[in-house]
């Protein structure tokens, strides 16, 4: 495995780092950010800036307007974008759109790509992925899927309810997971303005960085033409894995950038804040926390780079993405938690960006599968004699 960064990626890394510092971070105090994410006007303004800088959608293929980066290239770019909560929004690499773009590139036919993928890559529209359901429906166990799609002529009638649907409010495209009787889980593409689709409410959550928040969505006899099935009927769970493994990894990439930002803020504070006759960073209690941050960031980055390298060779086993997700989610949480502690009273206020990052990253240990579910999956593999 060669983890050396080639010159063109070093140049891109430098360009994104400068762009985030000069064009994105100054917008972090913009009042057009709400408990359910930045509003669409701010999102579009940032996308215009990224497009002008030649940095928009670095993950998407060049055919559809992106930069066509490899997974390893994405690891470099996404970490730099994640240095600001608004960075992934500006570069159009935020969830769920980034994962949905990947899914459409791999699975969708040409007409669906033109209708939905191209405007997603350009940032003209947003999307949502409708899979998780309220109890007793699908959560960590997707086999509990309750949303149905009943055939009706050359269409299907979708009935069900989803929640924690990131980006639902204001989205144009919904990718809906529903169960066709006697066929199985199937993905459907639908316009969010279609009759029968209603965003009931947006959930109040700790994180505030995702445009459109996390919605509760109801599907009441939503008619979707059979031509708008994504891929083939009955292969919904297979396609979910096409999306999920890379999406877990790109979450890790972005949150690494956020953790590095918190660490930089805490380090600067530890250099200049004095107590008991010297800078607090010179006291072992604080200095050791900074050292542990470096260790966690390094090991997490290696986990991400390893998985990105494997993906670039052609495939990534589910247990490998689970392992990376737990390593990074837990490491990022420890880093940001230490940063709050180092900052003391300032760490729990809005005086720095760290409290905001703290609230955002806590959710990462839950979404895309709680750490406990991934550990359970890894443990089952170990007990069966599988390599880890």
- Please, which contacts does 290-294 make with residues 24 or more away whose CB atoms are closer than 8 Å? 290/263, 290/266, 290/338, 290/342, 292/334, 292/338, 293/259, 293/263, 293/266, 293/334, 293/335, 293/338, 293/339, 294/263
Q: What is the structure's pLDDT at 124? A: 98
244: Cα separation from own chain's centroid: 10
Alpha-helix runs per DSSP H in 314-370: 318-343, 354-362
State residue 387's pLDDT score: 64
- The predicted pLDDT at position 169 comes to 97
Q: Which fold has domain 7-122?
A: Butyryl-Coa Dehydrogenase, subunit A; domain 1 (1.10.540)
CA dist., res. 66 & res. 58, Å (int): 5
Look-up: residue for tokens 């359901």?
A: 133
List of the chain residues with pLDDT < 50 = none
Alpha-carbon separation of residue 57 from 16, 48, 222 (angstroms): 12, 12, 31
d(CA 88, CA 83) in angstroms, rounded, equals: 9
CATH number of 237-383: 1.20.140.10
- Distance, in Å, from the CA atom of 229 to the CA atom of 194, rounded to the nearest integer, reads 15
pLDDT at 131: 96
Domain 127-233: what homologous superfamily? Butyryl-CoA Dehydrogenase, subunit A, domain 2 (2.40.110.10)
User: Is beta strand 184-191 parallel, antiparallel or unpaired with respect to 127-130?
Assistant: unpaired
Residue ranges of the domains in the chain?
A: 7-122, 127-233, 237-383
The C-alpha atoms of residue 307 and residue 292 are separated, in whole angstroms, by 23
Q: Other CB atoms closer than 10 Å to residue 21's CB: what's the count?
A: 13
Query: What pLDDT was estimated at residue 388?
Result: 56
pTM of the predicted protein model: 0.94
Q: Report pLDDT for 349.
A: 97
- Bond prior to 96 in cis (omega within 30° of 0): yes
d(CA 250, CA 69): 13
């Amino acid at each position: 495995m060669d983890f050396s960064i080639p010159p063109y990626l070093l140049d891109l890394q430098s360009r994104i780092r400068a762009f985030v510092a000069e064009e994105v971070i100054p917008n972090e105090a913009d009042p057009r950010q709400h408990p359910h994410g930045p509003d669409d006007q701010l999102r579009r303004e940032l996308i215009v800036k990224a497009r002008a800088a030649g940095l928009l959608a670095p993950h998407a293929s060049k055919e559809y307007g992106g930069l066509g980066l490899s997974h390893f290239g994405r690891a470099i770019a996404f970490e730099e974008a994640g240095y600001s909560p608004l960075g992934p929004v500006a570069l159009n690499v935020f969830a769920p759109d980034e994962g949905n773009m990947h899914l459409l590139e791999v699975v969708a036919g040409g007409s669906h790509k033109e209708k939905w993928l191209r405007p997603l890559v350009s940032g003209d529209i947003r999307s949502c992925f409708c899979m998780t359901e309220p109890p007793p429906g699908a959560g960590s166990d997707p086999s509990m899927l309750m949303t149905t799609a009943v055939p009706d002529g050359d269409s299907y009638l979708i009935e069900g309810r989803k929640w924690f649907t990131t980006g639902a409010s204001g989205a144009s495209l919904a990718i809906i997971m529903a169960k066709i009787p006697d066929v199985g889980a199937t993905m459907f593409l639908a316009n969010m303005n279609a009759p029968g689709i209603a965003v009931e409410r947006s959930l109040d959550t700790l994180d505030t960085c995702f445009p459109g928040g996390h919605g509760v969505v109801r599907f009441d006899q939503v008619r979707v033409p059979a031509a708008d099935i994504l891929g083939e009927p009955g292969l919904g769970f297979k396609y979910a894995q096409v999306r999920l493994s890379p999406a877990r990894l790109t979450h890790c990439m972005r949150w690494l950038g956020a953790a590095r930002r918190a660490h930089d803020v805490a380090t600067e504070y530890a250099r200049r804040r004095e107590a008991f006759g010297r800078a607090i960073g010179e006291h072992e209690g604080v200095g050791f926390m900074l050292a542990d941050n470096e260790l966690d960031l390094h090991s997490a980055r290696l986990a991400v780079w390893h998985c990105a390298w494997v993906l670039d060779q052609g495939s990534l086993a589910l247990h490998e993405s689970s392992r990376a997700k737990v390593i990074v989610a837990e490491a990022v949480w420890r880093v940001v938690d230490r940063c709050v502690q180092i900052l003391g009273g300032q760490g729990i206020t809005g005086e720095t960006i760290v409290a905001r990052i703290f609230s955002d990253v806590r959710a990462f240990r839950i979404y895309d599968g709680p750490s406990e579910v991934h550990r359970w999956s890894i443990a089952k593999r170990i007990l069966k004699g599988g390599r880890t």
